[in-house]
Structure 1
Amino acid sequence: KLLDESGVQSNPDSRSGVKTKPPHPQKTCGVCLESFHTSKPPALGCGHQFCQRCWKQHIEFAVKDGMSQGIPCMEQKCNLLCHFDFVRQFYTLPQDPSLEAAYNAHLFRISVSSHYQLRFCPGVDCTYVIYGETPKPRKVQCTGCKTTFCFDCGTPPHIPTNCETIKKWLTKCADDSETANYISANTKDDKLPSTQSLIRETKNTFIPDFCWMCMGDWKNHGNSYYECSRYKENPLIASTNSQHQAREALKKYLFYFQRWENHNRSLHLEAQARSQIQQQIEEKVNSNQGTWIDWQYLLRAGELLAKCRYTLQYTYPHVYYAESGPEKTLFEYQQAQLEVEIEGLAWKLEHVGDYQRGDVENQMDVSEKRRQTLLARFVTA
């Protein structure tokens, strides 16, 4: 009686003292809907039971299809995965070398993906695994294919922007919804803004009078602070209609995206310039205009320029999502200071014949200090 009330089935034959062997219970497979008899039906810890033939086919198909996340239970909405011993009881893998190799590769992927100190290299066709003693967002480089990436999220290195923010930014840049926002913001406009020509031509020589970042008049920028790196939001935008709000949101996005893209293009152009510098150094050495060591500072300057510009490029997603306040204001100020020094270094490297070695090296030192100051203040260790 106690067993019946507690929900535990009792054996009625045990009361009479007659020992009988209970028949194997009959089960219905939830996949093929056929009945099967077994004293111990195959099941995972979740308790969902299916016939042995369905389990075997399910495991075999899963192994051949790749099993990116493991072999799941066949029950709908059950997330439990099949462990190694459970798989082995249905399929003798050594009988099929290709299947065994696929399953071992699956186990290896699962082991690496679930280990907090291991990451697969995201390089194309690269099978290297990166080990990190202290897992955190940081730049790592594969020793095989030389691909650099963030150890925590697998995207390209993105300091000082954190992993969550850079994922949102990259998704936003690739999302087609920005096209819809543009259409919404620019539909039914009475007139479009006119284009101003800020380059004047004199005797076939183009003299720039504008900032290449914002296309604004250069004389309005001042000497120490790039106003064009800061986006001035409209404080009254919340009280306007949806079309004006869409226009403002698009304007803010394009402001930061254009600067992001400008620095990205500069990185590619400056990479080509470094190749030209390498060639020029070889020519100077071959013509006895100094030794190889004498001209190494130019290569160091090019590498430092790329490192500083890459950091500057990834400051824009951070500012785009940052909330207004003293922290954002300080970040924008240091961002502008870094940009001033980077453009100064780029100019001197481009016109290296007009500057002494000490001028270039001094600009390198100031640029790196600006970069380190920004990272030390806003990057969490």
Structure 2
Amino acid sequence: MNLNLKIKISSIALTACLTLFLIPQPLCARQDFRSAQVKDISDRAYEPAVIALLDGAKESIVISMYNISLGTKQRNPIRLLLEDLLEARQRGVEVTLYLNTRFRNIDKDPMQLIENPAFEKLQNTGCTIHLMPPNFRLHDKLIVVDDRYVVEASTNWSISALRDNFESATLIDSPSLAEIKLSRLKAFPLTPGKPQPKPKQPHRALYIENLPANITVSKPLLTDKIYLPRMLTRQDSRSMDLYLLLLAHSQTIGREGFFIDMEAMATSLGMPASWSDSALRRQVIRSLKKLKDNYHLINVRFFHSKDAWVELVHIPADTFIVSSEIIKPNSEKKISMRLKFLLLVKTLLESQGEDIHSISSQDIANRFHIHRTTISEAFKELLEWGKNN
């Protein structure tokens, strides 16, 4: 082979090698990318976007965070975010936090970092808190909601990050990316946290379990506009249901004053079993206060984390007998508030020898202080209810 041919072959080979080397190669294979919808939520857009995610969560919230700084004031953006987590848990959403424990100039037992009452409240409500061992640093600022929405950001949960700093943040709608992020978190080496509280035993609906077949009701409860008519006008069905159960319980035990188990009463009123005890108590307390202050039907005394003392206000007047089936709040018959009111009116009229179907809707509305349209709609429901009962 002559020299010119050798030189030509060598040149071709060198050119081929340089071409392969210099052609830009993709940094990642196409299959490593995930399709997604993305939205910038940097700076002041971060907080409202995260609040909307937490409030809209239906199944799960997972947070991996370098620093959650609670601040000193009781109501600040970070504590409100933790309240959103509590509310989500009370709706039945699974809430999990992965927290860093390694900070500069801090030499503490990792458990001390979550002994703040705010974190204890989260754990007591059923939230899961995982701690990164102090020999590792968790520097995430990551949120994953409902195995779908991913927030990747530079934003710690601190007042300065939310209100002052410039922080880059992106909201990503991608179930496949969420799966990758969650798999990564589950592979972390973790410090055992406090033992999770045992799942609470469901409270019994004590106040509807042993109802008498009938209860006695004072007529003014229906004929005086400050009582049940006002509740119906205000659509305050919980206060109506609560009062009727208190009345039934009073007649069952033969006393007008008694203690009530707040959680059992909440369950009897049909509140979700997934709610925390504090949430159940809070709702019953609110309705008891309404019965006292707005309707003047009871006196009540509250004791911290204990049963409440209730005393019914005596209403001296004629009475009539009502079937307990009408007053059950979570009856399978799904009686609406206005139908319940009309059934009570129907029973009262029958006790006086009157037929509700022979009286016009306007006359009933006038006698019982309810808008005629409400009575007319209730009559339609009564017709359907009568077909099935």
TM-score range, shorter chain: under 0.3
Q: Structure 2-normalised TM-score?
A: 0.23
Tell me: higher relative CO, structure 1 or 2? Use CA pairs within 8 A at least 6 residues apart.
2
**Which structure dedicates a bigger proportion of its chain to strand?**
2
Q: Structure 1-normalised TM-score?
A: 0.23
**Which structure dedicates a bigger proportion of its chain to helix?**
1
